[in-house]
Chain A
Amino acid sequence: MATYVARNGIGENQRRVEDFRFLTGHGHYIDDMKLENQAYGMVLRSPEAHADIKSIDATEALALDGVLLVVTGEDWKAAGYGTIPTKSGVRKFKDGSDLKEPPHHAIAIDRVRYVGQPVALVVAESLDACRDAMELIEVDYESLPAVSHQSEAIKDGAPQIWDDIPNNICLDFELGDEDAQKKAFEDADHVITLELINNRVTATPIEPRGALADYDAESGKFTLWNASQNIHANRDTIADTVLKIGKENLHHIAPDVGGGFGGKNGVYPEPILILHAAREIKRPVKWVNDRSESFLSDTHGRDQVSTVQLALDNDGTFRGLRTETVGNLGAFCGTVGPFTPTGGSSRTQGGPFRFDGIYYTAIAPFTNTCPLDPYRGAGRPEGSYQMDRIIDYAAAKLGMDPIELRRKNLIPPSDLPMKSPMGLDIDCGNFPEVFEKTIEISDRAGFEKRKEASEAKGLKRGFGVCMYLECTGGGPKEEAKVTFRDDGKVELSVGTASTGMGHETVFAQLLSGHLGIAMEDVVFRQSDTDATDIGGGHGGSRGLEVGGSAVTQTSRQIIEVGKKIAAHRFDVDAGEIEFEEGRFHVPGTNHTMTIRDAIDSQNDPDSLPDDLEPGCMNISSVFERGIISIPNGGHACEVEVDPETGTVKVDGYWVVDDFGTIVNKMLADGQVMGGIAQGLGQALMENIHYDESGQLVTGSLMDYALPRADDMPRMVIDYYEDAPTEKNLLGVKGAGEAGCVGAPPAIVNAVCDALKEYGVHHIDMPLTPEKVWQAIRDAKAAG
């Protein structure tokens, strides 16, 4: 293999180094692990949406051969463990009172509140023994009335999920300037109102959640391998808050993780249950969800019902925006749950458009459903869906052109930097240019011809756009630690968590580029509480923004130390040393020293100046982001609708994203494509459906539709790179979530454009064939 040194680490399409491992079956996932003497755990889940547990009888199960332990709520009570807390960034009602956080135990105590809630953990010598035991556990439930829809849950007289939480409301919220919004509404020529449902979906990562717990009785230390996106923070919660064992006694590691999308972010009950079990039986215990359990127990996303109102003038000028949302939380507060429909959905209200006044309110109630937590975008997709749908809806109602409406109202670059009405710090960008570029690459000129061709086949063609504005999130701090090993390898540990995005490639690429060392010498470590002191994991499109910045910062510090070593060797001042392409040199002389030389001499005291200790080039640094970045971009798409069957085919897709600096276009493209696939899934087919009694109807892939390769259009993806942000060291703005922020409104807008001749101007997601057909039928019937 040729030695590859990234030129400067930025802008190169370095191919993914992890893929060979993944594609040849050499990935190392939880289910690949087996420790000596390992036992297996399986979770008995509630079949009831809301019920009192009268009794649990595990006698027969425990008598089975190979069954080692059955854990129930009674054990939990006896152990006195803590509850799983929410870390929601929004914690106060509008009136200043505290958010209502019900006790979330890892296992049901006395009552179950959603189908799938853990009721017992069975531990046995084999999975089959677990299954046999589960069939023998007798749970006596007394059913209670249940409520699954958030709009029902807040009504007076709705089933109470928590005795002390009136109308099931966990939290309410407001942001913006209501007076300014009201005035804008009064002044405007029109106020257009649209009710929207942002459908409930689930992440369906290819690898289900799973964990392996080990306990060393001698030292009292635990090890937890966990398919998690968030190792450090969750260690603290699990060890300090729930099990009360002290975080120094829990080594938390994520091996390869096969997809997360937010669904592996939170603290879940099962890993806690098996840690308890491992200590009880003094043996390692492994648990892995099956796919049906994933549907029942992985936190879900979205599920917001909103009323959006846009005030605008006859000439199309936007004046005001008001959004009222009711966001489902499920039966408990997720780790970030209450934040999503409140803070999460509020910040990007108004998108990249000018307004006189914006006001956002939300109510977040509990229901008898699985808890909700961030799912790729966590609030921003909801925000952009509201914004870009109301624009097209208003355009249709008022006979305006949706492209012109956007063009007219985009914030011009001359307004930047600015603080948005929702408080976002928009430092840079060029929305009009991004928008025009999107329109340009989408070949609008050829649309009419394509429409005619579709028409000849009996199909309706439509075009839709979206101009989204979003923001990064997640933990602001990240650590990058570099250790030069004796075997010549360079160990790079970062506190971020890749669940497949390609960190192993891009961080190695950055380090290689910065230091001038070979990429294949970089050994990447992540998601291990022993590898870095802190770690923000994965979420909020933060990987490159904070993780990449930390790698850059650590690299710079290493170079500074290297300069001192070089200066010592050449007996000059460190200020005279320059570093370029892996070499320290003194300009105007033939004094050069490679970075490898410097590394080799870092352990030799004689080669070091007095102020440096051996090992001085092994450096760890923490980068802290001050202000979140503002990715933005344009999505355009064309659809073909079969009016006879209602089938929608996305036939063309064009994107221009402003992610600031593009470090590796191939990886960025992958993020955008995957995001579009998930956005397309949400727009056209994905839907988590609970019936009124709280039973999950879409409990398997037989009922939950996911997009497949042949559902995907050809995608043209381009970037606007002329506005790198100064908020981090790389100028990047975050690429991970944007695809599914832009895709749902672009696709729904395109379908509504295709159907405008029938008078169809809105259909709630997912736009299944039947719903599209029904909408056409209803519109025809209405005349």
Chain B
Amino acid sequence: MYDFGIKNPTSVDDVKTALGESDDGQFLAGGQTLIPVLKQRLAMPSDLISLARVDGLSGISAGGDSISVKAMTCHAEVAANADIKSAIPALAKLAGGIGDPHVRNRGTIGGSVANNDPAADYPAAVLGLGATVVTSEREIEADNFFTGMFDTALNEGELITEISFPIPEAAGYIKFPNPATRYALVAVMVAKFGNTVRVAVTGAGPCVFRVAEMEQALTASFSPDSIKDGMVPADDLNNDIHASREYRAHLIGVLARRAVAEANG
């Protein structure tokens, strides 16, 4: 680590002030990504703005047709939340499958979504469920949020405050873990809202993405058989020692079918 200062604001306004007062401040949420990065000296922020004591940044509230998860809510809370388990079980399952108990009790949804790791789970939920990312400045639709590898629509200093998930009619999430990291080698979220179906894939490409061809086929018939091999071409997928792009393309089809089957109960 390089030296850095630490600030502990207690309100969203204070966060902005603290950031303004820092040369090169960076938010610290659960630290499950940021701390390892600092330890390896891959980043050198002047100050860490800890979000731990900021009022109103944590918790889950269920509305009529959506569930809102505040940014500092940790994965374990999402996994265990009764409202989420009954309204969007696929989301609870996703959160319960992130990392290990330590990570789930420290890591936060805001940190995960802001970080947009290409192999992270939450981006598949946000995009697949068509969630809204609420920030200190505005509301951003999922479709406009994830802009590239480790890249999002967030402006410099923009703070995620909550994520609002519409409640689907049915949803399924299947993750194929990377054998080493157990992040997603490939994972697919499928969600059905009346006549629309959303399919989001994480782990397979440089950034989470939707699969229009699968969505159309599933809109016509929400059944595993609607998913055909080859609906996602291998060309632009990740290719590394853990999986070739061909294997990832194949897995997308398999996992999408299983996600639909799961959604159908």
Contacts and interface: CB of A to CB of B under 8 A. Distances in A.
Interface of A: 128, 131, 644-645, 647, 684-685, 689, 697-698, 701-706, 768-770, 773-774
Interface size class of B (residues with CB under 8 A): 10 to 19
The secondary-structure label for the interface of chain B is: loop
B243 A770 contact: yes
B1 A705 contact: no
Contacts of A685: 179-180
B247 A774 contact: yes
B241 A702 contact: no
Nearest to B253: A644
B179 A768 contact: yes
B254 interface: yes
Interface string B228-248: 000000000000011110010
19 contacts: A644-B254, A645-B176, A645-B254, A647-B176, A684-B179, A689-B241, A698-B241, A702-B181, A703-B242, A705-B179, A705-B180, A768-B179, A768-B242, A769-B176, A770-B244, A770-B247, A773-B247, A773-B250, A774-B247
Contacts of B244: 770
B41 interface: yes
Given A685-B179, A704-B180, 13 more contacts: A128-B1, A644-B254, A645-B254, A647-B176, A684-B179, A697-B241, A703-B241, A705-B178, A705-B180, A769-B176, A769-B179, A770-B243, A773-B250
Given A685-B179, A702-B180, A705-B179, A131 B41 contact: yes
Interface of B: 1, 41, 176, 178-181, 241-244, 247, 250-251, 254
Contacts of A689: 241
Contacts, number: 37
Interface centre among B41, B181, B241, B251 (most CB of A within 10 A): B241
A697 B178 CA distance: 16
A702 B242 CA distance: 10
A680 to B, nearest CB: 12
A705 B247 CA distance: 18
Contacts of A704: 180
A774 B244 CA distance: 10
The secondary-structure label for the interface of chain A is: loop
Nearest to A645: B254
Contacts of B180: 685, 701-706
Contacts of A128: 1
B211 to A, nearest CB: 18
Given A685-B179, A701-B180, A769-B179, A645 B251 contact: yes
Contacts of A774: 247
A345 to B, nearest CB: 27
Interface centre among B1, B180, B243, B244 (most CB of A within 10 A): B180
A757 B242 CA distance: 26
Nearest to A777: B250
Contacts of A703: 180, 241-242
B233 to A, nearest CB: 18
Nearest to A704: B180
A773 B229 CA distance: 15
B28 to A, nearest CB: 20
Contacts of B181: 701-702
A704 to B, nearest CB: 6
Contacts of B254: 644-645
Contacts of B41: 131
Contacts of A706: 180
A768 to B, nearest CB: 6
B230 to A, nearest CB: 14
A697 B254 CA distance: 28
B154 to A, nearest CB: 25
Contacts of A702: 180-181
Contacts of A701: 180-181
The 5 A-B residue pairs with the shortest CB-CB distance in the complex, in nearest-first order? A705-B180, A705-B179, A770-B247, A685-B179, A644-B254
A643 B225 CA distance: 18
A293 B243 CA distance: 25
Contacts of B243: 770
B4 to A, nearest CB: 12
A706 B178 CA distance: 11
A554 B254 CA distance: 64
B108 to A, nearest CB: 21
Contacts of B176: 645, 647, 769
